[in-house]
Amino acid sequence: MSATTAAPPLGTPIVQPIHHSAAYAFDTLADARAVFAQRAGGYTYARTGNPNVAALEAEIARREGGAGAVAASSGQAAVALALLTLTGPARDAHAVVSSRLYGGSVDLLTDTLADTGLEVSFADPRDPREWEDAVREGTRVFFLESIANPLTELPELEAIAQIAHRHGAAVVVDNTVATPHLYTPGEHGADFVVHSATKYLAGHGGPLGGLLVATGSFDPTNDPARWPWLTEPRHRWGGRSAVETYGAERAVLGVARCKYLNDLGPCLGATIAHEILQGMATLGVRVERQSATAESLAATLAAHPAVERVHHPASATGRQRELLRHGGYRGAGGVFSVDLAGTPAQVEDVVDSLRLIRLAANIGDVRTLVAHPASMTHCRLTPEQFRASGITERTLRFTVGLEDEAELTADLFRALSVIAEPAPGWDTAAGRGTAVAAP
């Protein structure tokens, strides 16, 4: 007999196996009872937990320097979980939110959550006084983006977070565009960070996913009467409070997972969690290359006669430039926008003339994409919200992928020739921002 037959095989998988199981078995009823009653840790059913999902949650919490995380089926679901947990049960719930928000977040706040009684005020993320003026007694949450989508404004996060905390509100930051590689909101006053993992974290334009991270700074016991659904005993938690059940810094995550994720069901599947985690392994190299290409393309386009204005943190001046340099940002990101110098019909022709750059409402893909926010991601804003957003009919948003920059420049210049051609002598083929006007 060979000596090898009895020994277990040596070697363990480098990549975590996919645990495709809806339910989890227990050896004894006593074990099952303890886990279902949340007296012992463990998995019951994959709607509220799965080993691959848990690995993704641990990884985003580590990258954001947080206390823990909850994964959801999309970025929308993660934002909804955060806002429901922080405002849902309050009778007088009010949120102050950035006037420069992703369109889906605006729909959620002003339609679906407004139906549940949430009241919302909009404030400019560059002007902390607007946030201070918008605060009311019922304000439970401030919500803003660390790099705004699509015009890439950087917020005065530290000043805004101080205002929120002075008034007992929690600060939620959507860190989708920046990613934790470029910015960690928890170091600048955010209590919670949300991500559309669909974008840079997954990185390849495939799966949808969302993440809610607690940075660990929010403690509802500092003002228990303001957060009774977290601090008072509830039947749901076996007659204890959420704080007693999950601890002060994880109470919001516990309620988000075991109440809202469990009851509403927008959970992430094991295969998708696995795919997002694989994407996150290359996050840094992708984001650095995409940021560098975006910075270079934005600088090139800023000098193009068909372009009136570019929006990218690296092209900004004044206070925005100061925030990029000294506000904790480690790069400017792969999203930039341009306001074209043509008529709306010419803008449409430019979009339709792009070949390499595809027209699609996504960011963070390895492929470069263009969007027309007024017709696409932000098409449901009211005229007033549209004016406050800074977007115009002539604004195009680009999300830079990993293609060769010279090919992107050539595609852009060919399409922009609908409006204007650069002066003779421009070196469009060289890329890397070397295009300069002839003397």
Q: Is 57 in the site for ligand PLP (CB under 6 A)?
A: no
Which backbone phi and psi does 180 adopt, to 5 degrees? Answer: -65, -15
Among 196, 291, 389, 409, contact with ligand PLP (rule: CB under 6 A)? 196
Nearer to ligand PLP, 122 or 229 (CB): 122
Tokens of 356: 């390499």
Q: How far is the CB of 272 from ligand PLP (least distance, A)?
A: 11
Q: Which of 102, 89, 101 is nearest to 252 (CA)?
A: 89
Among 69, 70, 102, 128, contact with ligand PLP (rule: CB under 6 A)? 102
Q: Is 180 in the site for ligand PLP (CB under 6 A)?
A: no
The Cβ of residue 345 has, within 10 Å, a number of other Cβ atoms equal to: 8
Distance CA 322, CA 310 (A): 18
Host H or E run for residue 308: strand 307-311
Q: Is 203 in the site for ligand PLP (CB under 6 A)?
A: no
Interface with ligand PLP (CB under 6 A), residue total 18
Q: Is 365 in the site for ligand PLP (CB under 6 A)?
A: no
Q: How far is the CB of 79 from ligand PLP (least distance, A)?
A: 6
Q: Which are the contacts of 376, defined by CB distance < 8 A and separation ≥ 6? A: 361
The answer to whether 153 and 145 have CB atoms below 8 angstroms apart is no
Q: Is 176 in the site for ligand PLP (CB under 6 A)?
A: yes
- Residues between 231 and 290 that touch ligand PLP (CB under 6 A): none
Q: Which residues pair with 97 in a beta bridge?
A: 122, 143
Among 60, 113, 164, 208, contact with ligand PLP (rule: CB under 6 A)? 208
| Residue in the shown chain whose Cβ atom is closest to ligand PLP | 75
Nearer to ligand PLP, 340 or 363 (CB): 363
Which backbone phi and psi does 140 adopt, to 5 degrees? Answer: -105, -20
- Residues between 61 and 100 that touch ligand PLP (CB under 6 A): 74-76, 79
Among 87, 184, 198, 337, contact with ligand PLP (rule: CB under 6 A)? 198
Q: Is 156 in the site for ligand PLP (CB under 6 A)?
A: no
Q: Strand runs (DSSP E) across 146-249, as ranges?
A: 170-174, 192-196, 210-214
- The DSSP bridge pattern shows strands 139-145 and 94-98 to be parallel
Host H or E run for residue 119: strand 119-123
The Cβ of residue 360 has, within 10 Å, a number of other Cβ atoms equal to: 14
Q: How far is the CB of 361 from ligand PLP (least distance, A)?
A: 8
Listed ranges 169-177, 263-271, 292-300, 326-334: which one lies at the site for ligand PLP (CB under 6 A): 169-177
Q: Which amino acid is at 255?
A: V
Among 211, 363, 381, 408, contact with ligand PLP (rule: CB under 6 A)? 363
Tokens of 263: 């009851």
Residues that bind ligand PLP (CB under 6 A): 74-76, 79, 102, 104-105, 145, 149, 174, 176-177, 196, 198-199, 208, 210, 363
